[in-house]
Structures are given as structure tokens and as C-alpha cells.
């Protein structure tokens, strides 16, 4: 009984010290709700409350039969995204994100990840400080300094359909001297704009939350397959193969 009590206390201590705040793995048959809250839109501001045949996010398989969260959007529909850490992100915190996904099609202007601003928009804050966006069969990490600036590509590489990609992000959520580091396929990238491996800027205008899935690029019917998505506040909390 005494040994059992000590083990229970140790288990509670380990759980309390864990900083992994989002942990989804399709291989473990995790429910897609572990990714966050579903955002489904047929047209802008035309929100769909639950999955339909034309617009959904649900457990499924990719083109190979591998387990995944399956994001599907009919041509003309604008959004199938999961909103993680809704109203939970904090200024001054560092977030480590791992994200593995594949796309069934490569439409222009498709966003597969947003670090989206919510509170500062009303007074000139950046709408999307950071995004992973597809254009001309390439994917870019884009940065928007404030609400009066355009998003600018900081790094770009080729992207193909039916190919699994692994993304690692380190984001220091600060408006003053915040930063981002990007890892693609486990290798840290050098940003084309700064020629540095860390981009310093306004990464948290008011409250920025992560979103993943498929947004915009609605001229093409699109499927996305998500295999793993984690967010931690310490690097060692997330899958190290992404960094």
C-alpha cells in the first residue's frame, strides 16, 4: 500500500510538471477533438455546425490507408480547420509545435497553418502574424508585422500532393522581440529575408492562436491528412524528430 501511494504521488507529480498542452496522434486512434475546435465554413461567415459530405474533419485514412485526421472541403467551400488552444495562449510563453500532414491537391492561396491574431485586430494588429501558405506549387512561411502590412514570404520550398511533410515551429509569443524558428523535415531552415535561422518580430499582437487544416484556395476540392499535432511549452515535451 505504501509503495502504491508513492507511485501514485510520483505519477501525479510527473503529470503536473508536463507542459504538453495539445497531443494528437492518429496512429493511437486519438479523437480529432484533441486537435481543438472545428471551424467549418461553406462561404465566409457561413458557418457549418457539424460535418457534411462536402465539408468535414473526422478520423479516417489517407490515400495509402494510413490512419489520419481527414480534412475535406468541396470546391468552392472556404474552410475546414481545427482551432487549438482557443483563448488559452499567453504573452511571453514559448510554444513548440509539431505538425505532420499531406495534401491531396495543391491549390493556390491555400493555408495549412495559421498563427492567427484575435484581439488586436480591432486596433490595427496583424490578422495572421504567421502562416504556412501554398502558392504556385510551393509552400512558404509568411509573416505579417501588423494590420497595415502585407504578409511576406520568409522561406519557400516545393510542395507536392500525396507527400507527407513534417513541420516543427518554435514561437516566442511576444509583441516586442518575439521570434519564430522553423524546422522542415527535421532540419532548421534559414530565412531568405534575414539570412538568419531565427526571425524576430511581432508574434503576439494581442492573442494569437494556432489553427491547422485547409483554409482558402477554394477553387479546388481539397483533402488534407493530419498524422500528428503537438504543442508544448518546453522543447523536450514534443516529438524530437521534428527539430
**Every domain of the chain and the residues it spans:** 20-242
DSSP string, 68-128: EEEEEE-TT--EEEEE-STTT--TT-EEEEEEEEEES---TTEEEEEEEE-SGGGGT--S-
Note the pLDDT tens digit of each residue in 94-109.
999 999 999 999 999 9
- Residue 146 confidence (pLDDT): 86
Q: 155: part of which helix (H) or strand (E)? A: strand 152-158
Contact 143, 201 (CB under 8 A): yes
- Residue 166 confidence (pLDDT): 98
Note the pLDDT tens digit of each residue in 121-167.
766 667 899 999 999 999 999 999 988 889 999 999 999 999 999 99
Q: Which positions of the chain have pLDDT values less than 70?
A: 1-18, 122-125
- Residue 19 confidence (pLDDT): 82
Helices (H) and strands (E) in the chain, counts: 1, 17
- Residue 15 confidence (pLDDT): 42
The alpha carbon dihedral of 112, 117, 122, 124 has a sign of negative
Q: Which fold has domain 20-242?
A: Jelly Rolls (2.60.120)
Amino acid at each position: 500500500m505504501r509503495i502504491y501511494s508513492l507511485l501514485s504521488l510520483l505519477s501525479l507529480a510527473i503529470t503536473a510538471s508536463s507542459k504538453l498542452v495539445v497531443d494528437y496522434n492518429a496512429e493511437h486512434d486519438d479523437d480529432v477533438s484533441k486537435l481543438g475546435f472545428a471551424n467549418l465554413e461553406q462561404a465566409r461567415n457561413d458557418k457549418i455546425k457539424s460535418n457534411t459530405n462536402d465539408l468535414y474533419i473526422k478520423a479516417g485514412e489517407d490515400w495509402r490507408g494510413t490512419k489520419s485526421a481527414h480534412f475535406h472541403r468541396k470546391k468552392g467551400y472556404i474552410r475546414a480547420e481545427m482551432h487549438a488552444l482557443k483563448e488559452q495562449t499567453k504573452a511571453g510563453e514559448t510554444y513548440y509545435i509539431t505538425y505532420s500532414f499531406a495534401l491531396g491537391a495543391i491549390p493556390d492561396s491555400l493555408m495549412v497553418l495559421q498563427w492567427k491574431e484575435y484581439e488586436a485586430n480591432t486596433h490595427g494588429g496583424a490578422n495572421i502574424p504567421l502562416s504556412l501558405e501554398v502558392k504556385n506549387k510551393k509552400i512558404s512561411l509568411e509573416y505579417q508585422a501588423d494590420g497595415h502590412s502585407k504578409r511576406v514570404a520568409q522561406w519557400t520550398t516545393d510542395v507536392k500532393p500525396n507527400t507527407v511533410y513534417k513541420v516543427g515551429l518554435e514561437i516566442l509569443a511576444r509583441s516586442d522581440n518575439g521570434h519564430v524558428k522553423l524546422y522542415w523535415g527535421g532540419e532548421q531552415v534559414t530565412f531568405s529575408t534575414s539570412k538568419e535561422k531565427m526571425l524576430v518580430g511581432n508574434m503576439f499582437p494581442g492573442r494569437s492562436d494556432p489553427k491547422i487544416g485547409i483554409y482558402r484556395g477554394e477553387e479546388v476540392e481539397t483533402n488534407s491528412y493530419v498524422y500528428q499535432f503537438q504543442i508544448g511549452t518546453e522543447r523536450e515535451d514534443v516529438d524530437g524528430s521534428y527539430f
